[in-house]
Copies of this chain bind each other. A is one copy, B any other.
């Protein structure tokens, strides 16, 4: 390195997709004044779309928009493919074709990366190209680069995230309004905060994709998505939210990846609604905001907070990836950058959910009978489940409502105790079982 004048190299982009995110990226690139000067050197060379007929919120010179996606990813003029079309196919095939042509990739496609990241990274490493994925998790929040670079010297112990804006909005509304899940979901759909088919969000699948990507980076191994335990928020009731509040908690859909023994041999990766103590940094993350708490050694607790979705936020992440890629390429490196290349290591050992050690909250409806508490205690005691608190909170339709919070217990032992409790004549039902932070 001898001088700091940088040769101007025009970098040409091929953008796949001109939906919300693609439009945001084009708008950002077309409005470069007052941003990093390097942006001005980036050219939108081709934009691939499904239909030319659709009205677009951005205007592009004639000939740039095309429906011939195969030609686009093979175009020898293009340096970087920006994939913001979503879904598995044709995105997967197009990305592999682009990589085989020596093109670098910027993608926001969490569903694709969580399922086929390994195939994509293998191909990219073979071709000597980068795959940038900041926008795949947490929208505009910088989290991928911090994990790969700023926190790279740490041993990561855990990641705990609110990484789905739709469910966080729904839970926040249920908390503040005292409303039912289904009622809030309908409102959220009307306001555009939830899809007409809300499955991916409310059943935790979107969060599972994202925590699989983050866990893979934090623990240096592939994550088999089918091993990620996933429980959504459909069963969360205003009753449980109210009891949680009384006990000093809020209910959040958390995505957690945790090195069980701090030796990277057993990783627990899971998505489930969780009781979070009101004093915990994640307890105050409300509405559509996302946050990811990283615990590492020696750094301690670091949290990243921001908008988890939206055109502008996601465009910020996608375009920053483009800029970082351009900046790296402009150094004319003779070797790939060891912190930016994709790591493609063996699979992590994922702890089955039954082996998880955590605290639990459970709500029981029972006959209002003085012997019930003792019988509950006996069933828990047999399985070695130690109770932190037992509260008989009230009478609900002539049934007593009993809330239990356990100390840390292995999940399978707790479930065995619940199975026995369900057979007790005095127990009417167990309407809810939730995990409790910190475990």
Binding site for B on A (CB under 8 A): 1-4, 6-7, 24, 27-28, 34-36, 38-39, 125, 128-129, 134, 140-142, 145-146, 149-155, 263-264, 281, 284, 296-307, 310-313, 315-317, 319-320, 323-324, 327-328, 330-341
Query: What separation, in Å, do the CA atoms of A337 and B315 have in the docked complex?
Result: 23
Asked whether B1 lies within 8 Å of A302 as measured between CB atoms, the reply is no
* Contact pick for A6, options B1, B153, B338, CB 8 Å: B338
Asked whether B300 lies within 8 Å of A310 as measured between CB atoms, the reply is yes
Given known A-B contacts A146-B150, A337-B327, A306 and B312 have beta carbons under 8 A apart: no
* Contact pick for A319, options B153, B304, B337, CB 8 Å: B153
Asked whether A335 lies within 8 Å of B300 as measured between CB atoms, the reply is no
A308 → chain B closest CB, angstroms: 10
Q: In the assembled complex, which residues on chain B have CB atoms less than 8 Å from the CB atom of A125?
A: 4
Query: What separation, in Å, do the CA atoms of A303 and B141 have in the docked complex?
Result: 8
A209 → chain B closest CB, angstroms: 21
Q: In the assembled complex, which residues on chain B have CB atoms less than 8 Å from the CB atom of A149?
A: 145, 320, 324, 327
Q: In the assembled complex, which residues on chain B have CB atoms less than 8 Å from the CB atom of A140?
A: 298-300, 302
Given known A-B contacts A149-B320, A151-B320, A316-B151, A4 and B341 have beta carbons under 8 A apart: yes
Query: What separation, in Å, do the CA atoms of A36 and B302 have in the docked complex?
Result: 19
Q: In the assembled complex, which residues on chain B have CB atoms less than 8 Å from the CB atom of A303?
A: 303-306
* Contact pick for A298, options B6, B313, B323, CB 8 Å: B313
Q: In the assembled complex, which residues on chain B have CB atoms less than 8 Å from the CB atom of A340?
A: 327
Asked whether B330 lies within 8 Å of A331 as measured between CB atoms, the reply is no
Asked whether A336 lies within 8 Å of B331 as measured between CB atoms, the reply is yes
A163 → chain B closest CB, angstroms: 14
A42 → chain B closest CB, angstroms: 10
Asked whether A298 lies within 8 Å of B324 as measured between CB atoms, the reply is no
The 9 closest A-B pairs by CB, nearest first: A298-B312, A142-B150, A331-B333, A302-B306, A332-B334, A299-B316, A303-B305, A140-B299, A153-B319
Name the residue of chain B whose CB is nearest to the CB of A283.
B284
Q: In the assembled complex, which residues on chain B have CB atoms less than 8 Å from the CB atom of A35?
A: 152-155
Asked whether B332 lies within 8 Å of A305 as measured between CB atoms, the reply is no
A260 → chain B closest CB, angstroms: 14
A422 → chain B closest CB, angstroms: 40
